[in-house]
A and B are shown apart, each in its own frame.
Chain A
Amino acid sequence: MVTSNFEYFAPTSVDEATSLLSKYRGEAKVLAGGHSLIPMMKLRLAEPGILVDIGQIEGLSYVRKEEDGVAIGSMTTYREMATSSVIQSNYPLLADASARVADLQVRNRGTIGGSLAHSDPAGDIPAVVLAIGGSVVARTRRSKREINIDRFQVDLLTTALRDNEIITEIKLPGLASGTGTAYSKFHQPASHYAITGVAAVITISGETCTDARIAVTGAGDKATRARRTERILKGKELTPPVIRRAASRAAAEIGDALNEDIHASAEYREHLTRIHAGYAIDQAVAAAG
């Protein structure tokens, strides 16, 4: 399969890359790991006239411990995240989810920036970052802004990113002590994409749940917070009946927008969402203790 023709640029700095995006606004697309964009171009679902490859820019892959959390460069690959000791110790669910994306070869190419920008409804990382919280740093030629992750995923394959912006960094907040995390997914056995995946970040103080962020992927159009589940958990002692009741509401926000495709019916996805919400919460609670 041959993609349509395009003009190719390989800038070596973010400034050069953002200048190209401004100059060719509307026509140009960013190429990162290429593991969503190239397959889409082969199918001619995407036919950008210009590609700006950010893979030759030095200094976009890093995991850096900061005072109030961790900063991850947008070109950091799944493999780099899965094997980073900073990520393993600060956000075990991100290391675990990264190690379970696709396969060894895809994990060597796919990037955190690409997976957030692409916002695949079955992608793992959007839900994990949504459960951790934090923000996406986006730059244009002239400006730089931080987009709160809660406002980043807008719709199916659609984010708050503008077409002249490049994600340069993902900022994750430090997690309070007593926080446990987990990611539980039911994967499509060939691609490993999430048929349904649930990410949980839960803080427990004494016997009480003081904070909970739960995010669901695969079930709907985009990664979504399960706010009703969170509300049931917060302020309570997380006994098995409380967890069961909270998990049973995990698909509530998705409502009628449950996906239905060759892999699973809407009904089955709703069922899987509850089950995996239960697993993720159980595991996060165990990790918090």
Chain B
Amino acid sequence: MRAYVETSGKGPTMSTEITVTVNGTAHTEAVEPRLLLAHFLRDVLDLTGTHVGCDTSQCGACTVHLNGEAVKSCTVFAVQANGAEVTTIEGLADGDTYSNVQQGFWDEHGLQCGFCTPGMIMTSEALLKQNPNPSEEEIRAGIAGNYCRCTGYQNIVNAIGAAAKAGK
């Protein structure tokens, strides 16, 4: 695949056509190669559940699943997801039924302002896929790449523990 060059009034801009399947729906769009996956989801597809907190690969608010694996979407170019499957927070619930992790966050009050929550939930889903029965220590290590500035983490850890129990 080669990026083609368009000339706009402001000088050359490059764009590449990509197809990304997001939450089961295929989207074909022309994007600049430098567009980050987080901005593709938010600004092009209008899926604003994926948050951008730090934009420096640290806070995890932008976590989504790329071909089933949790990644920080502020550190992936949308073109790298060409041909891939992406799941965002909007794709977790089955109609009105929350996933176990979403239900765990609801039941255990695993959020306050909610800013970190989509990323926290996407990481937790991936963690429980890798390790369905984590200890408290493993839960804390598993969410090391997600920052929460409100809760002090305790209820988040409880929420993930509750989701693990519900999954059994």
Contact = CB atoms under 8 A, between A and B. Distances in A.
A89 interface: no
A35 B72 CA distance: 10
Interface in B1-18: 1-3, 5, 13-14, 16
Given A9-B1, A9-B3, A103-B60, A109 B71 contact: yes
A34 B80 contact: yes
B58 interface: yes
A109 B60 CA distance: 14
A108 B1 contact: no
Interface residues of B, number: 36
A10 B82 contact: yes
Interface string B76-93: 110110110000000000
Contacts of B75: 34-35, 38-39, 109
Contacts of B3: 7-9
A104 B123 contact: yes
B162 interface: no
User: Which of A10, A31, A104: most chain B CB closer than 10 A?
Assistant: A104
Contacts of A42: 55-56
B108 interface: no
Contacts of A192: 144
Interface in B115-139: 123, 126-127, 130
What is the predominant secondary structure among interface residues of chain A facing chain B? mixed
A49 to B, nearest CB: 10
A172 B143 CA distance: 32
A41 to B, nearest CB: 8
B160 to A, nearest CB: 12
B76 A104 contact: no
Contact of A39 (B57, B71, B126, B143): B57
A53 B79 contact: yes
Interface of B: 1-3, 5, 13-14, 16, 32-34, 55-58, 60, 63, 69-72, 75-77, 79-80, 82-83, 123, 126-127, 130, 142-146
* 3 tightest A-B CB contacts, nearest first: A103-B145, A8-B33, A108-B69
11 contacts: A4-B34, A5-B32, A6-B14, A35-B57, A35-B75, A38-B75, A38-B76, A103-B146, A105-B70, A106-B57, A192-B144
